Chains A and B, each alone.
Chain A
């Protein structure tokens, strides 16, 4: 049975969704690898799952609640200690809005 196919254009789309800047040079090999993996996992389409409830967790785990009490949180300096760039008590990032080009879509 022929499995699903994925084009380089689709791979670019998925990379954009995944926020991965993939070099054009890697595209042919990556597309071929993803294609072969997708064809393999398409095997699940052959299983008869009619009337089967999806199982997100294999244990019957339900919502776990705790007392709504204030507990100590990490001090600010520890929260920021691994940040690549900070400015006082803030994480520092490039300008988010009002750039020349809106590529947030």
Chain B
């Protein structure tokens, strides 16, 4: 039997009775069974529960826009079932007493959650190598990383171990793995999706978003997850449009902005550069006008990000104290300070500790003004750059990642090198803007590696951003490519 691996066709096949949700869910669980040992995309798989939900869909007891479709969610989203580990030894056995709002919304829409995916510990990283449970590998080439931090979600989708996936994006953690795994990934405007039940990394930057094989799949998932939530005071009450309905209508008089500073940026792989240039050409053929814009504070983006995010992280992660929940040291301790300090040193991995240290340093007495306060001012300048640029264009186009997937271990020795891969993605989070990554080409390696194109729009422009992404997708075939079948173990 042939099963659709994309979300909307799968949903329609179930709806029209061509397949049952149980058949599709069983098929996906079998793929997980055969491939996950190799790729390590899932931290936990909830097969029995998934089959029960699928049965309820088949019996007509659950309906909705995602009815019966297998979905994978990042393991930093709280679920009242199973564990929520954040790929950290600290939370290895943590059982959340409640569901994240997005989990509620997905299940109310009929989604079958098959499992929770691997990530860089507490979402800190760009390769999914910083996981206490081992790295996730890229289905296109298992010698390479899937990107991160939502690498497990991107790899699970690319390997056919779900039909859609959910991740979180603080500095590129949805878009970069989407690019490296050849799928679509969207980071919504800050406040578009409730963060209630998302384990906090950097609260003013974190946002939950979808992965799909197609722009339409990402649009459907976004529509299910978006909206105001009384439990997240930073979620906004902006109405949620039907992101799918209008998708095929091209944007008339489209103006695409190419930032001068991005073209001057060094370190961009030649194959990425030419794929993105070809995409610009394709948009021109589709009638778009290309305008040069300037984002003069681009060069400060990563530096500002690696001040703001660690500062917020050092505060958010103060809650892991070995007392209320999470890992506690089994060493004999003299007092409570030693209990905190040993539990935290044992429970957190190296990258999480580095970011806590950077944040603590930057917020400590005498340094606050030079680092945190200054970074917040740079943040205002970066936002202002975008506001100016969007007076002249509808969308900004650039690579998602400066390179295709890099080799496992290639950047783990040098944390700063790992930070620099976020050059095109962090500014979206700093400025609260929505950004989408879509496939725009492949390398000619024996195992071809996907290349991602990023489109950035003004706040709450998701509907238009998705339509612009769809224009390119409709004119190309990249989204139909699949990785060569891997032999499981």
Residue of B nearest to A52 (CB): B377
The answer on a CB contact under 8 Å between B360 and A18 is yes
Q: Which chain A residues border B416 with CB–CB below 8 Å?
A: 33, 36-37, 40
Q: Tell me which residues from 26 to 49 in chain A have a Cβ below 8 Å from any Cβ of chain B.
A: 30, 33-34, 36-38, 40-47, 49
Q: Which chain A residues border B379 with CB–CB below 8 Å?
A: 54-55, 58
Q: Which chain B residues border A19 with CB–CB below 8 Å?
A: 318, 321, 337, 340-341, 344
Interface size class of chain B, counting residues whose CB lies under 8 Å from the partner chain: 35 or more
CB distance from A67 to the nearest CB of B (A): 10
A21 CB-CB contact with B under 8 Å:
yes
What's the Cα separation between A23 and B350 when bound, in Å?
12
User: Which of B303, B314, B431 sits near A58, CB closer than 8 Å?
Assistant: B431
Q: Are A82 and B325 also in contact (CB < 8 A) when A6-B361, A34-B354 are?
A: yes
CB distance from A89 to the nearest CB of B (A): 14
A96 CB-CB contact with B under 8 Å:
yes
User: Which of A18, A44, A57 sits near B314, CB closer than 8 Å?
Assistant: A18
The answer on a CB contact under 8 Å between A83 and B325 is yes
Residue of B nearest to A61 (CB): B234
What's the Cα separation between A85 and B321 when bound, in Å?
12
Chain B interface SS verdict (over half)? helix
Q: Tell me which residues from 30 to 76 in chain B have a Cβ below 8 Å from any Cβ of chain A.
A: none
A78 CB-CB contact with B under 8 Å:
yes
A84 CB-CB contact with B under 8 Å:
yes
Give the size of the chain A interface in residues (CB under 8 angstroms): 57
Which of A22, A52, A64, A79 is the most central at the interface, judged by chain B CB atoms within 10 Å of its CB? A52
The answer on a CB contact under 8 Å between A40 and B376 is no
The answer on a CB contact under 8 Å between A103 and B335 is yes
The answer on a CB contact under 8 Å between A49 and B378 is yes
Q: Are A47 and B204 also in contact (CB < 8 A) when A30-B354, A34-B358, A78-B97 are?
A: no
User: Which of B94, B326, B339, B354 sits near A33, CB closer than 8 Å?
Assistant: B354
Interface residues of B (CB under 8 A from A): 93-95, 97-98, 190-191, 204, 230, 233-234, 236, 297, 299-300, 302-304, 306-307, 314, 318, 321-328, 333-342, 344-345, 348, 353-354, 356-358, 360-362, 364, 370-371, 373-381, 383, 415-416, 419, 430-432, 459
- By Cβ-Cβ distance, the 10 closest A-B pairs, closest first, are A58-B432, A54-B376, A82-B325, A84-B328, A49-B377, A21-B341, A64-B233, A55-B380, A78-B97, A43-B303
7 residue pairs A–B, Cβ–Cβ below 8 Å: A19-B341, A21-B344, A37-B306, A38-B358, A53-B380, A59-B234, A91-B324
Interface residues of A (CB under 8 A from B): 6, 10-11, 14-23, 30, 33-34, 36-38, 40-47, 49, 52-59, 61, 64, 66, 74, 78-79, 81-85, 91, 93-96, 99-101, 103-104
